[in-house]
Chains A and B, each alone.
Chain A
Amino acid sequence: MRRLWRYQETYVALVIIVLSCAITLLNPNFLTLENLFDLLKSYTFLGILSIGVLFVLISGGIDISFTAVATVAVYTTMYFTLQHGGNTATVLFMSATIGAALGFINAVVIHFFNIPSIITTIATLNIYYGLLTVFSGGTWLYNMPEWFRHFAETNVISLVNPDRVPYGLSVIPLIWFVVIVAAWVILRYTMLGRGIYALGGNLASAQRTGFNILALHLFVYSFMGLLAGIAGVVEVMLAQRVATNSMVGKELDVIAAVVLGGASLTGGVGTLWGTLLGVALVGIIGNGLTLMRISSYWYNVFIGLVIIVSVGVSAYRRKMQRRRKISVEVE
């Protein structure tokens, strides 16, 4: 039990519980299945990206370019699909493949030229996004195919609320669930997952232990790209249009959610569980403000405060721990 207090995840979970209780007291609509289903649907985009970011952070790197990757992947895919047709599976597959390819390029630059990942991905963000805007002329794509709209509106669970308005669990969060399960299996049960933790913990040790650093780099950044491609499709499913500029600029918000969940920017630390809690916290704050009828202008102030307090508390605890260790050595 006492071990629990060592993890940032515990604190985030507590904050979520307290916040949920407070919001429910003020507006009982918060704790309804309808609201929960809605939340799941609107945060699928953030949720999928956050898992990719988690992998990169665990491996000791960072990726800034994923919003541009998502935009390029989904734009190219939908442009092609609008002209040649396709179905939901081909759209997801094609977008994920393009995303993975762009992530692969990031990994190659990072690995072979030993350029810090933050710099590489800032550069590729500008390259991917700049080139896309040049080739597309910045025009948005409308008139999504009928089957595409139909898929996005499909519910896997259909219910009727007391006011006889039908609602349900959209099929879109299912994509997120599949990603979560895949990520969980990789991190928990495969050599690949252990390799990613090892790489982030200590590159030199990981190399000497016999992990293939090149393969790990290629996997982590390609996986980030793959998830970005899928997240891009999700965004388009929700909005039913492809915009060139709706995603770029949100990269730091995604990273903030992952970091709230306890992932460390120095690598080697981070759990899937924590990342889900981080996304949940961000979602609940946004949703809660609306339900408590607080103007959405305050959203950033709240998120900012939560981030500062949470990273502040955990940093302060680490500092105190270090102090204790040092004093032991002196004795």
Chain B
Amino acid sequence: MARKNSETIILGVILLAVFGLMWALNGSQFVQFENIQSMAFQLPELGILSLAMMITMLTSGINLSIIASANLSAITAALILTNFVTPDANGIGPTAIAACAVTAGLLVSAIIGLLNGFLIAVVEVSPILATLGTMILVKGASIVLTRGYTLSGLPEPILFIGNGLVAGIPMPMIIFILCAAFMAAVLNHTPLGNYIYMIGSNPIACFFAGVNNTAVLFRTYLISGVYSGIAAMIMMSRFNSAKADYGESYLLMTVLASVLGGVSAAGGFGRVSGLVLALVILQLVSSGLNLLNVNPFLTIAIWGMILILVMVVNYLSARYQETHPR
């Protein structure tokens, strides 16, 4: 328990320090409403994808296929939208078609999640290999479907998901908050959540405790898949397009964000609150440096440095607690 708390405290301190630093560097511009609103538009994509990554990492797995499956669901939805929504819509309104497209997109990502679940839980392929395979396969399917082109020009109702405001709060942010809350509820307040942590700590002990590991892993990868589908809808709507290789740099960033948020790479540890803190830190750094006109590639280098720094601090504080028992 002490370890978890100290991690949250470290993250909180870093968050405040980064916020203070960016405020000092940028002046009042940084805390203006417009800037905060634009941060709230940018954070959810990486945020929801990171949640999709996190839940698999808790079971000591990983899901390398999240970006590929997000792109395939966006392409599926975009294909439906661009082919069926015409100016002379016959009978069915564009909103209904948009709803169908979103459902189809989510269904695709759910199916990919089930495929991952099958490979990992039933065939017992190691998660990194199984999802590496599905990543390449699913990306291949996207390329075949689009011939490598970009699908663009989506109809109005779908654009609201990524660009709309509800009472001044960006729609993606609302979706992200709902996703995070649901994930936190599942992890902290359901048996499934408990089993997920148990499998991550010790799958054999968990199995002998009478848990159906297969079912738990299936659900884990299903949730992960659906979350990548939700992120896909936001990405598609924000870019107003879909393509086979959008957002590939997000893949390693989701691992980075999860680990920064205290998710153990070996599984079993990590909370949604830590991940959210980590995401806010990363967003503050990138928005703050962006306002200063810093090269975005310097930003990703700084993200990497923050990750190593946090891991080193965690390591040293764990060592200190071992050598100085209270």
Contact = CB atoms under 8 A, between A and B. Distances in A.
Interface of A: 64, 109, 113-116, 118-120, 122-127, 129-131, 133-134, 138, 249, 252-253, 255-256, 259, 265-266, 297-305, 307-308, 311-312, 315-316, 318-319
Interface in B196-253: 248-249, 252
Contact of B143 (A127, A300, A319): A300
Interface string B106-149: 00000000000001000111101110111111111101100110
B130 A308 contact: yes
B252 A304 contact: no
Given A113-B315, A134-B295, A298-B144, A315 B301 contact: no
B16 interface: no
B133 A311 contact: yes
B308 interface: yes
15 contacts: A113-B312, A122-B304, A123-B304, A129-B300, A130-B302, A131-B297, A133-B297, A134-B295, A252-B64, A256-B136, A265-B126, A298-B144, A300-B143, A308-B134, A311-B129
A272 to B, nearest CB: 20
Given A113-B312, A308-B130, A124 B304 contact: yes
Given A116-B266, A298-B144, A312 B304 contact: no
Interface in B54-85: 64
Interface string B291-307: 00001011111111101
A301 B141 contact: yes
Contacts of B123: 312, 315-316, 319
| Dominant SS among interface residues on chain A | helix
Interface of B: 64, 119, 123-126, 128-130, 132-141, 143-144, 147-148, 248-249, 252, 255-256, 259, 265-266, 295, 297-305, 307-308, 311-312, 315-316
Given A304-B134, A307-B133, A315 B126 contact: yes
Contact of A115 (B129, B130, B308): B308
A177 to B, nearest CB: 28
Contacts of A253: 136
A166 to B, nearest CB: 34
Contact of B124 (A299, A304, A308, A318): A318
Contact of A119 (B124, B134, B136, B307): B307
- The CB with the most chain A CB atoms within 10 A, among B64, B301, B307, B316, is that of B301
A297 B147 CA distance: 7
A256 B301 CA distance: 26
Contacts of A265: 126, 128-129
A295 to B, nearest CB: 8
Given A127-B301, A127-B305, A315 B137 contact: no
A304 B301 contact: no
